[in-house]
Amino acid sequence: MIEAPGTVVAAQGGRVWIETDPQPACGQCAGHCTAAIAARALGRSRRFQVASRLPLRAGDAVILGIAEQALLRGSLQIYLWPLLLFLLGAVLGNAVGGESAAVGSSAVGLGLGLLYARTAARQMNDALQPVVRRRVAADVAAACRDGSRLTGA
């Protein structure tokens, strides 16, 4: 499970709005490296609406999680299929009609790959939704945002 700290900004029924801060590239330097400084300068907070069984209210610090397998599968479908169909279209087009056919058929392959990726992403939407893993103390969430590693999974 890939985890990130967040803060509840609103709660209504079984759904909560959670805001996350941009994270540094890694937790090794406690946020003092160039990558972490750039992430803070260029990054912006994100808001997610997620279902939660926990009794949460605005201001609560939480840990969000996304299943690693779902993220990997989604990434492969979104990036791999368009690339494979692009290359397949180029190879088939070149075999059938030369360079100009390869250009046209690779564009068609890319378009089909993007359409497939869009359809696959919609089907995987539920698996890619973040979930509230647990509530944490505000000082723990602040330490996580500052680049410390999360413990327990």
pLDDT digits (tens, 9 = 90+) for 102-146: 999 999 999 999 999 888 888 877 777 787 888 887 655 555 555
Contact 117, 74 (CB under 8 A): no
One domain for residues 74 and 60: no
Domain presence at residue 152: no
One domain for residues 43 and 78: no
Domain presence at residue 109: yes
Contact 138, 81 (CB under 8 A): no
Question: Could you tell me the residue range of the domain that residue 100 belongs to?
Answer: 70-123
Give how many domains the chain has, as a whole number: 2
One domain for residues 61 and 21: yes
Say which CATH number the domain at 36 has. Answer: 2.30.30.140
Domain presence at residue 141: yes
| pLDDT tens track for 1-34 | 878 888 888 888 778 888 887 665 565 665 566 6
One domain for residues 45 and 86: no
One domain for residues 59 and 8: yes
Residue 13: DSSP 8-state: T
Residue 64: DSSP 8-state: E
| pLDDT tens track for 27-65 | 566 556 666 665 555 556 778 888 888 888 888 888 888
Q: Tell me the mean pLDDT in the region 70-88.
A: 89
